[in-house]
Structure 1
Amino acid sequence: MYRNPWLRLREDAVVRDDGSAGVYAVIEKPHFAVVLAAERDGFWLVEQFRHPVGRRTWEFPQGTWPDGGSGSAEELARAELAEETGLRAGTLEHLGHLDLAPGLSTQEFDVWLATDLTPGPTAREATEADMVTAFVPATELRTMIGDGRFSDGPSLAAYALHLLARPEPGRGRRPGGELTSPPGRAAHPGHSGAWRPATKG
């Protein structure tokens, strides 16, 4: 239906659980990486102007491959961190894989924790010419979240995964970083129904 170098918009004909027909608009975008660059009990953030909301926003470094680019999820994380901040990560830990907006888009993203950082040159794209980088202590980041200065959804989700990955009283970590839960707590079975695609536009 519509396509440009960054996204594709399609409209699917669907059949709902009750048998009724409908249409569903879907935005297709490539997966991206969000990187928490951590050191000295704080994080490196980037700030840039975001046209859709008409203002500058603070975020963790993030992005996807340019049109025609490709590589592994880890390679993308390292590339985005270096491109936007100039930092190179000696250690990169995968914190999780999330859906951006499953009711609207196919886009997903991986969250990474970067440590053992060394500085280097940036390689920002033309759309990132106004970008600035700043180191923010963890206490200041929490203040920024509370007063709305740090409001980027993927960045907040990434920060939540980072907090969940830290051991808490009564919770340990299995090998590989997986968190254990208290005994007797079962997973929610979820809803088994689904919309069945009829045709795709």
Structure 2
Amino acid sequence: MQPVSSREVYRNQWMSLREDEIRHPDGSPGLYSVVDKPTAACVIPYEDGGFHLIEQYRYPLRRRSWEFVQGTWPGDGPPGEELARAELAEETGLRAASLVPLGRVAIAPGLTSQECDVFLATGLSRGPLAREHTEQGMEQRWFARAEFEELVRDGGVFDSVTLGAFTLFLLSGERV
């Protein structure tokens, strides 16, 4: 596919929506709508053979979801380790002595340009929470690995970033 033209349809501090006219490989025209968002960070807080997860209400799906810590800065903050550490402290109050990059996942490549850097956090210590106003009702809990895997099988964990991050964790050989 080749872009022919692009126009921004909407923008706020978290995302923008653009509409691209494209040309398919056979020359026929097409239209593609893309949500552009900055690169996010996902943190796997790993301790005592299990994981710290957060649960929050996901408005677009109208239900709660257990997930690994994840987020992004408003605007154009720097992705990477600084963002991962900030999200970990904000959502769980945890601090990591070690933060190892495991890879990157595309969040929903048919809809958005957003990608997410995945980090393994170990050597955890507790500190104060610093949740944003929008994170009201967020819960946190530690799950043994077997409990986490059962949650995945039973549909209690259905977030694509969390599932992709867990795959990267498994492929990493659990570098802890």
* Aligned-partner Cα distance in 2 for 1:44–1:8: 31
Give 1:155's aligned residue.
162
Question: How many Å apart are 1:6 and its aligned residue?
Answer: 1.6
Deviation at 1:71, TM superposition (A): 3.0
Deviation at 1:66, TM superposition (A): 2.6
Find out whether 1:36 has 2:44 as its counterpart: yes
Counterpart position of 2:10: 2
Letter aligned with residue 126 of structure 2: P
Q: Which amino acid aligns with 1:10?
A: R
Is residue 123 from structure 1 mapped to residue 155 from structure 2 by the alignment?
A: no
Deviations 1:89-147 (A, max 9, x none): 00000000121122211100000000000000011011102111100000000000011
2:148 corresponds, among 131, 137, 141, to 141
* CA drift at 1:3: 1.5
Counterparts of 1:38-53 in structure 2 under 5 Å?
Answer: 38-53=46-61
The answer to whether residue 172 in structure 2 is matched with residue 165 in structure 1 is yes
- Note the 1:14-163 alignment, pairs <5 A: 14-67=22-75, 70-163=77-170
Q: Quick check: 2:101–2:118 contact (8 Å CA) kept in 1?
A: yes
Q: Structure 2: give runs of 5+ residues left out of the alignment.
A: 1-8
Amino acid at match of 1:60: F
Identity %, equivalent residues: 50
Matched residue SS, 1:2: strand
Opposite residue 111 of structure 1, the aligned amino acid is V
Is 1:13–2:21 an aligned residue pair?
A: yes
Identify unmatched segments of 5+ residues in structure 1. 168-176, 178-201
How far did 1:72 drift?
Answer: 4.4
Q: Which has the higher strand share?
A: 2
Q: Give me the TM-score of the superposition, normalised by structure 1.
A: 0.80
Which structure has the larger Rg?
Answer: 1
* 8 Å CA contact 2:54, 2:91 repeated in 1: yes
Q: CA separation in 1, counterparts of 2:116 and 2:51?
A: 19
Task: Give aligned pairs, total.
Answer: 167
Distance 2:160 2:110 in 1: 15
